[in-house]
Chains A and B, each alone.
Chain A
Amino acid sequence: MFSKILIANRGEVALRIIRACKELGIRTVAVYSQADISSLHVKLADEAICIGSAASSSSYLNIPSIISAAEITDVEAIHPGYGFLAEDAHFAEICESCKIKFIGPTPENIRLMGDKMVAKETARKAGLPVIPGSRAIVKTKEEAMKIAKEMKYPVIVKAAAGGGGKGMRICHNDVRLIGALLTAQREAESAFGNPDVYIEKYIEKPRHIEFQILGDKFGHVIHLGERDCTIQRRHQKLIEETPSPALDHKLRKKMGECAAKCAKTIGYVNAGTIEFLLDKDNSFYFMEMNTRIQVEHPITEAVTGLDLVKEQIRIAFGEKLRFKQDDIRFSGSAIECRINAEDPDNDFLPSPGKVATLNLPGGPGVRMDTHVYQGYEISPYYDSMIGKLICHGRDRLEAIAICKRALDEIIIEPIKTTVPFHKRVMNDTSFIRGRFSTDFVESLFGKTE
């Protein structure tokens, strides 16, 4: 097994990776920006190297700095987490050429699936149903308007190089489209260093269903079930659950097999996720593949009993997958609530600052993944997600009851968080019934985008 790994990330995912490493007896190296000097991942790693100033471009996106840190600490592998350089094929290649294992897919996998447009084309060739859209990057407003006219509004402008809702805009007319093209390009440039965007037909009121994939270097690929991530705001996921209340056994099997087949066709290695949109008639369309571990992986861990980060490390080390598709068992229902430092009563305005009082929930069926500790200062430079509450019950209703109970125990003061928002959702009839689509959050607030 690896003896030392560098974690090229921060916040809760850095902590997540450090935890898996420690349990496997692997020494850890944290990298951090000057703004993160008091961060928990820095304190808990065996070694820590400051790699740059607060700006992501100077630190967490700074490849020479990170590789340099890896060299001086003599690590054998780098885990990129999610976001930042996790889906940067160039970074994965540099790791390879420096004889450092990149804990994730191959650079070829990333190129093929990381570019959302090429991914769609690949899935289409693999026989999966896909969403109609522009076949190339859209650069000018004239091109954009032409494509939108052919596909008919509404359309969605999306970043080719990333996800997480950044660089995405829904447009219902030409006026919106022109503005959206520019802001989406800017946002994509800032988040992923790449302003390329493309346009797709926007499927109204869909459900977002994704499948977890694991593949080893020997060509074995399995799926670990789905996650329903329909509860989103501005294309950023807020609540995820498994199993999806919208899938029956037959549809789950069909979609899962599709996902595994797609990944196997491209020789996908390590952890990845294939995202589908499910429309009102239960037709599903390939949307994109995320070539990384995802934020919401804990709900899959809850129902399968597996540790996905450890599996990632094992696969990267060269081990064979220890189970076949038939070995995977699902138990109960799990829900994750993303806790963000945002004010839900004020249009989710970011609310950074010091956490003077902190109480985290506990008890059966509760898992809280967070890098926040009492006295920690949440800085304004990064993502507003400060923690994830994962609740696991024997069925969906029990999982919801546990969530409600755990949310009541959470105290994060005096900053504002999305905890009250999650409480509202857990008490909402449509949510409890399991009948909702991606406009759920909008309708909860009675607004339209």
Chain B
Amino acid sequence: MYIKEIKDMIHLMNENNLAELEIEKDGLKIRLKKSSGTGFEKTIEFVPATSGHHGAHQAQASEVPAKTAQAAEKKNVLEIKAPMVGTFYRAPSPETPSYVNIGDQIEPGQIICIIEAMKLMNEIKAEVKGKIIDIQVDNGEPIEFGQVLFVIEPA
């Protein structure tokens, strides 16, 4: 993914009046963000898929429209946030299926994901009952404290 592709991305953004565009392909993630003029923001970041940035959980104008912060503004949804810093995993191992998927009903006490920190796998349990309507982080993505992981419609 190089200069031509980046130019295409910039063209795409301008054509469609986008402020931010993120594309992930072959283990490389590129986010382009238009500067809002404060001088504190960078316009282009190359982010290898395993690193973390504090902006990672902000609204992304990517191919999956469901991944926006607007979900929280809808009535009757709950956000499950990361209680710790680490790496997010959907399943106990690469071979086993994910603990939960979008559309699943979850119960309090049910393990919904793993957050790995300092070589320890921490099983994260749901504290609410409801249906998963969105999963906001990818498998293997680094996450920070307070980052939204799941969006639940409480039952």
Interface residues of A (CB under 8 A from B): 34, 42-44, 47-53, 59, 64-69, 71-74, 98
Contact = CB atoms under 8 A, between A and B. Distances in A.
B84 A65 contact: yes
Given A34-B146, A69-B144, A49 B51 contact: no
Contacts of B54: 42, 47-50
B146 A68 contact: no
Given A48-B54, A69-B144, 15 more contacts: A34-B146, A43-B40, A47-B52, A49-B144, A50-B147, A51-B85, A59-B145, A64-B84, A64-B85, A65-B117, A68-B86, A68-B117, A68-B118, A73-B52, A74-B51
Contacts of B144: 49-51, 69
B53 interface: yes
B87 A50 contact: no
Given A50-B147, A72-B85, A72-B87, A67 B118 contact: yes
Given A34-B146, A64-B118, A98-B118, A49 B52 contact: yes
B7 to A, nearest CB: 25
Contact of A49 (B40, B85, B87, B118): B85
Interface in B37-88: 40, 50-54, 84-87
A71 B86 CA distance: 8
Nearest to B83: A52
B142 interface: yes
Contacts of A59: 145
Contacts of B145: 34, 49-53, 59, 65
A73 B142 CA distance: 8
Interface residues of B, number: 18
Interface in B100-133: 117-118
Contacts of B118: 64, 67-68, 71, 98
A98 B143 CA distance: 19
A73 to B, nearest CB: 6
A72 B84 contact: no
13 contacts: A48-B54, A49-B85, A50-B145, A50-B146, A51-B85, A64-B84, A64-B118, A65-B84, A68-B118, A69-B52, A72-B87, A73-B52, A73-B142
A67 B85 CA distance: 9
A224 to B, nearest CB: 35
B44 to A, nearest CB: 13
Contacts of A43: 40
Contacts of B53: 47-48
* Among A44, A47, A98, residue most surrounded by chain B Cβ atoms (within 10 Å): A47
B11 to A, nearest CB: 27
B99 to A, nearest CB: 20
Nearest to B40: A43
Nearest to B41: A43
A44 B42 CA distance: 10
B86 A72 contact: yes
A160 to B, nearest CB: 28
Nearest to A48: B54
Nearest to B42: A46
Q: Give 7 closest A-B pairs by Cβ, nearest first.
A: A72-B142, A68-B117, A48-B54, A68-B85, A50-B144, A43-B40, A49-B144
Nearest to A63: B118
Contacts of A67: 117-118
Nearest to B85: A68
A66 B87 CA distance: 13
Contacts of B146: 34, 50, 53
B136 to A, nearest CB: 15
Contacts of A66: 85
A402 to B, nearest CB: 30
B51 A72 contact: yes
B127 to A, nearest CB: 16
B38 to A, nearest CB: 9
B117 A64 contact: yes
Nearest to B52: A72
Contacts of A47: 51-54
A406 to B, nearest CB: 26
A15 to B, nearest CB: 13
B74 to A, nearest CB: 23
B112 to A, nearest CB: 19
A66 B145 CA distance: 11
A51 B85 CA distance: 6
A68 B142 CA distance: 10
